[in-house]
A = this chain, B = another copy of it.
Amino acid sequence: MAERPRQLAHLEHLGDATQFAAQMHSLIPKCALLENFSPAEVELLAHFMDVYRAEAATEIIREGDGGDFMLMILEGRVEVHKRDRWNAQQLLAAVDAGRTLGEMSMIDGEPRFATCIAAEPTLIAVLDRESLARIIVEQPLLGAKILMELVLMLSQRLRATSDRLMEVLDEQGQHASAPM
């Protein structure tokens, strides 16, 4: 990683992820991104990621911020919050090791959708857009695999979110307002 994301400057940097490759590999059953990865592919990917430690109650990603990285939780627990229209923080989810966060902004560069806060001491492995671009050029098959997994994950989340939206609109007797 050429330059580390400035949004992570407040976290302890533990070096690149190669020394955590075995730990990443053990997360495969819990990690949608890695589910079809071989140990060799995890090892290769780890070369392009950096690991950080976040103490409990530390903000890792802030809703509305810029930031072109995604992260994988290696250890610990992260709470995901979003402000409602009265600007109150609402807890959307609490997620554990193996979960990835921040994929959308890594890809589209749009502001962060939600805030992610370490709920306990947490280790994260970070992949930024520049590193993903390097993977695509230097290791095109690995790049395609990562992108394919991202498409799968987003597709499944979009199905779940669209289903939920349809349900809620059905309950209200509203229709035709689902974004397409």
Contacts and interface: CB of A to CB of B under 8 A. Distances in A.
Interface in A157-180: 157-162, 164-170, 172, 175-180
Nearest to A90: B175
Nearest to A140: B140
B104 A155 contact: yes
- Copies of this chain in the oligomer: 2
Interface residues of A, number: 49
A157 B159 contact: no
Contact of A180 (B85, B93, B108, B148): B93
Contacts of A93: 180
A143 B159 CA distance: 24
Interface string A133-160: 0001100110110011011101111111
